[in-house]
Amino acid sequence: MKKILCFLFACFIALAARAEPRTWTFCEDGKVKIVSGGSDWSFSKGGRINSDFVRFDSTNVVLQLIDGSDGFVPLMSLSEADRAYVTKVKDAPVDKAKLNREAEQRAAQNRAQAEEIEQEMARKKAYELKDAEFYMRGLKRRHDLDEIVRESDQVDADEKAGKIDRNAAASLRLKLKDRLRVNVEESERDLKEMQTEAEREWQRKQTNSAKSNQLLPVKEK
């Protein structure tokens, strides 16, 4: 009875240790051979991977990878701490169905994070394009303003030289004044729009910085 209780307690400890995927560390370069025959995963010395322990077959450790597939990893390719972990849990029962469910959940989280990253990149690109648009508008406003100043100086010079009379000069100045008013109104509108976009971008950055994005390993062929 005592032996049974000890065994059950050991199993409980081992299963509790598997509640979250373990981070495995490689002590040499090598490859993870996929059980189903898919493309192997390459790993480098010092590299890490998050996966669940499935079983041990005397020389290889079978791990459930983030995509749900099982892969063989040579025991000697793992760190000393990982080898000690395998020794501790290799004889404990494994709930394969639970591992599959957890793998599916992690895959869904990965897809959601990938979508968030893609959306954020799209928003950033749109913001950069909008910023470039504001810059081009600013150049046009500056060019129009320079033209208004130049034409105003020309009206003054023509009136002084007697090329145009006082009424004609007044009419031209009124048109230039209207153009200046439109230029100022459009510049103020652009400034308000820029401020609104800048505030939105700042809020997005604040929201993103509050999130803890944990990237899972990338599959290497």
pLDDT in tens, 76-124: 999 999 999 988 887 776 666 666 677 777 777 777 878 888 887 887 7
For the chain, the structural domain boundaries read 2-94, 116-210
DSSP notation for 86-154? HHHHTTS---HHHHHHHHHHHHHHHHHHHHHHHHHHHHHHHHHHHHHHHHHHHHHHHHHHHHHHHHHHH
Who wins on pLDDT, 75 or 200? 75
CATH hierarchy code of domain 2-94: 2.30.30.700
CA-closest candidate to residue 176, choices 153, 154, 148: 148
Residue 20: pLDDT band with limits 50, 70, 90: low
Who wins on pLDDT, 12 or 68? 68
For the chain, the distance separating the N- and C-terminal CA atoms, rounded to the nearest angstrom, is 50
